[in-house]
Structure 1
Amino acid sequence: MSAPTAIAHRPSPAHSGADPRVWWGVAAAVFAIAWGGNEFTPLLVMYKNDGLPVTTVNLLLFDYVLGIVPALLIGGPLSDRYGRRRLLRPAPLITAAGSILLAFGDGVVPMLSIGRVLCGIGLGLAMAVGSSWIKELSQPPFGPRSALGTGARRSAMSLTSGFAIGAGVAGVLAQWAPWPSTLAYLINAALCLIAAVWVRRAPETVAPQPVRKPLREDLRIPAAGHRRFLRIALPLALWLFTAAATAYAILPTLAADRIAGTPIAFSALITVITLGCGFAIQSVARRIDLPGTARIAALSLVLTTIGMAMSVYAAASLALWAVAITAAVLGCGYGIGLVAGLQEIERIARPDDLAGLTAVFYSVSYLGFGTPVLLSLLHNTLHLGYPLMFAGGLVIAAGCLAVVLANYRDDTIDAATAAEHSPA
């Protein structure tokens, strides 16, 4: 393995003086792309009611992972090599194209599938490149000095707010507005075009590298073998979108027959509850975090484990109040877990593999969106009940929590560093 090549970071002359708003354009792009990535979720019920088989709809939900994972794994290292701007600028346009295909897909599965993949590519670039770019713009020489983890929280909140608002608006429009399968996607396409203009004003944070390694060298992420990544970040990643998919893709579908007249709106409500709780808890993660420990990582998995236990009851009873409360708990686990994972990455990544390590983390996390497909296949072929399958998930979540607790202390951060980065 070749010696690591440090990435040179440089201030833009147009943005010297540490503008505290310099990261806003990137955050707007991440927000709009996340909106496009998740607006499909509350419409699952609509597509099923329109006659698409359940497994087909769940596969469409998973299709955008086929775009996300390659964009994450390749986009992150490429942005370390060529700069953040070259990789992120096209992302809102790719998402806009995906939303337009979804808007006019009208039940045509190949069109819907391609649209989902394009939205996934945009989201993968936003998560790997956008997260790194926001982190770099949140610290000198681009922005004012801030507490450790500020960039991670800004990135997580941009993503989560886009996921939540996009899903909420899509569900409301699909339930009560004209053109239920079209209007929400067109709104997202317009937002992405606006974001594509705004993000062009953000300064580049990665200077060109005069010496080029072979690309395959850039695709290697040595920090992915770091003990903290394997024992803290990965257990979190496994549950981020598994918890989210359980809350707003599976439970509302199981309870759809209990909703008289407004199943799409109920699905949107559960999505907003899940992600709204995730967003809210992200804003207080700084106060909960204790550098040198895995406090918020452990808290995330405690909440996830409790949420999976509640999922067993919610799936058995199909009580709407149980679905809503379960979504809130799982949403809190998701939200704080996203911040915890990104903060772990900030602490262990070198400048030249920040985007790459972020990409690995998100790639693992997005495999969780395969959960609805997997459970529906197990239900249809082996006739396993959802309460039983959620009970199995509870055991796995408890096992991940045990791994994190066994590695609670971070010996790589000494007391002086922890004190320096603790919030005032």
Structure 2
Amino acid sequence: MRAWARVAAVLFVIGYGANQFSPLMVMYREQGHYSATVVAAFFGVYVAGLAPGLLVGGPLSDRLGRRRVLLPAVVASVPASGVLAAGAFSETLLYTGRFLFGLVTGVAMAVGTTWVKELSQAPHDPEADAGSGARRAALALSAGFGIGPAVGGVLAQWAPLPMELPYLVHVVLTLPVIPLVARAPETRSPEVAPRRSLLSDLKVPAAAHPRFLGLVLPLAPWVFGAPALSFAVQPAALGSERTAGFGLIFATGLTAVTLSAGVAIQSAARRLDARAPLAGARLGLVLIVVGILVAAVTALTGSLVVAFVASAILGAAYGISLVSGLLEVQRIAGPAHLAGLTAVFYSLTYIGFLLPVVLAPLAVHVPYPVLLVVVAVVAAMCLAVLVTAGRRTRRTVTV
């Protein structure tokens, strides 16, 4: 197995475990009898763990080495899944398990994405091009994000122990990946005696770069905001009565369509970026606006077919935006700041997963079609900011 593939396997199993919860939200709402707001909170507490994992994981791996930080995170994902499986009997355990998995995922994404990029260049892979690392990391994550909910949703719909078995399958998949990452080549030598504090390492000067503020910041929250709207908000907007008896498999289908579209378009996104570096980000936000408006039509008409169309559009938007964002981060940051800026980027992307948490309580008072139109207007404003910044910001060297 190639060196980069060992680390990409980690991104796959972490993405698998992190996102398999998405269709299970319907199960917790229908079988666990939790309110829509509580289920959205299960979805959102993951971000509370993710942010510190992202922001600390990258700088810590710069200090200690990639393996010393990523390996414990992969190992810790096993008991995190165990806590979620035990959450069938406790709301507290569900919150705890989701927080723990967010923490693990944050570390894995910050360190794993950087490590894959470093292993996708000389001397480890001299034939790879400049964008191979971002593309490989994005594909591995997206594949995990897509396959995890597809398998988890099917198991929860038709297999025994629906609230436990999906998490146990993730444990079985993760165990053989642990020795793979343990043998991956180290690309960052541990510092024998760091001359600065970890707190100073957490500062990422590249986050103040004009290109990051103007071109990455307006895009980042929509990277995962798009799939969250697709497979978390749309089922809630339709209501359980519209999908009675097959709500779980319907949510699984939306998740599969969203993330399949996201994976399928990433190679094209890379080629588009190579020809016009800002075109991918612009197209991603355009598709997000269109996809949200189609989702509003879903909420208005109750059409399951329109819901799948919205998922395909939002999935394509997710794939283009993720690749474009990662490539822009790699253009902005030099080797000394890459892990930290990647962590900041991912932290911003996961803000989008809070959209269901915000919209669920508001939907008690305001219809979902209206809420989604408002969200589309906000996305359009971000597109305007990005386009304006692109005209003003000329290509600059890394920092």
Question: TM-score band (shorter)?
Answer: over 0.9
2:226 alignment partner in structure 1: 243
Q: Please give the secondary structure, in 1, of the residue aligned with 2:219.
A: helix
Q: Does 1:275 align with 2:256?
A: no
Question: Match of 1:24, as an amino acid?
Answer: A
2:58 alignment partner in structure 1: 76
Match of 1:200 among 152, 175, 182: 182
Preserved contact between residue 80 and residue 353 of structure 1 (Cα < 8 Å): no
Preserved contact between residue 251 and residue 315 of structure 1 (Cα < 8 Å): yes
List structure 1 segments (4+ residues) > 6 angstroms apart after TM superposition: none
State how 1:20-419 maps to structure 2 within 5 Å: 21-50=2-31, 51-210=33-192, 211-255=194-238, 256-290=240-274, 293-380=277-364, 383-408=365-390, 411-412=394-395
Q: Give the whole-Å Cα distance in 2 for the aligned partners of 1:407 and 1:373.
A: 30
Displacement of 1:292:
6.0
Displacement of 1:283:
2.2
Preserved contact between residue 214 and residue 390 of structure 2 (Cα < 8 Å): no
Displacement of 1:368:
1.2
Preserved contact between residue 36 and residue 236 of structure 2 (Cα < 8 Å): no
Displacement of 1:212:
2.4
Flag the 1:79–1:291 CA change in 2: closer, same or farther, 3 A.
farther
Q: Please give the secondary structure, in 1, of the residue aligned with 2:277.
A: coil
Preserved contact between residue 294 and residue 407 of structure 1 (Cα < 8 Å): no
Q: Give the whole-Å Cα distance in 1 for the aligned partners of 2:371 and 2:258.
A: 21
Displacement of 1:99:
0.9
> Which whole-Å deviations, capped at 9, do the CAs of 1:167-222 have from their partners, x for residues lacking one?
00000011111111111100101111111121111111012335521212111100
Displacement of 1:291:
5.4
Question: Match of 2:150, as an amino acid?
Answer: G
Displacement of 1:114:
1.0
Indicate the larger mover: 303-312 or 166-175.
303-312
Q: Please give the secondary structure, in 2, of the residue aligned with 1:135.
A: helix
> Which whole-Å deviations, capped at 9, do the CAs of 1:291-320 have from their partners, x for residues lacking one?
563011111111111111112111111200
> Which whole-Å deviations, capped at 9, do the CAs of 1:97-142 have from their partners, x for residues lacking one?
1111111221411111111111111110111000000000000112
Q: Please give the secondary structure, in 1, of the residue aligned with 2:130.
A: coil
Q: Give the whole-Å Cα distance in 2 for the aligned partners of 1:185 and 1:374.
A: 27
1:5 alignment partner in structure 2: none
Preserved contact between residue 95 and residue 121 of structure 1 (Cα < 8 Å): no
Instruction: Tell me the C-alpha RMSD between the 2 structures.
Output: 1.6
Structure 1: 5+ residue runs without aligned partners? 1-19, 418-424
Displacement of 1:285:
1.6
Question: Match of 1:22, as an amino acid?
Answer: A
Q: Please give the secondary structure, in 1, of the residue aligned with 2:336.
A: helix
Q: Give the whole-Å Cα distance in 2 for the aligned partners of 1:293 and 1:53.
A: 43
Q: Give the whole-Å Cα distance in 2 for the aligned partners of 1:24 and 1:92.
A: 15
Q: Give the whole-Å Cα distance in 1 for the aligned partners of 2:276 and 2:200.
A: 31
Q: Please give the secondary structure, in 2, of the residue aligned with 1:106.
A: helix
Indicate the larger mover: 115-124 or 319-328.
115-124
The count of aligned residue pairs is 394
Flag the 1:269–1:94 CA change in 2: closer, same or farther, 3 A.
same
Structure 2: 5+ residue runs without aligned partners? none
Q: Give the whole-Å Cα distance in 1 for the aligned partners of 2:47 and 2:77.
A: 14
Preserved contact between residue 291 and residue 413 of structure 1 (Cα < 8 Å): no
Q: Give the whole-Å Cα distance in 2 for the aligned partners of 1:107 and 1:52.
A: 13
Question: Match of 2:327, as an amino acid?
Answer: Q
Question: Match of 1:361, as an amino acid?
Answer: F
Question: Match of 1:223, as an amino acid?
Answer: A
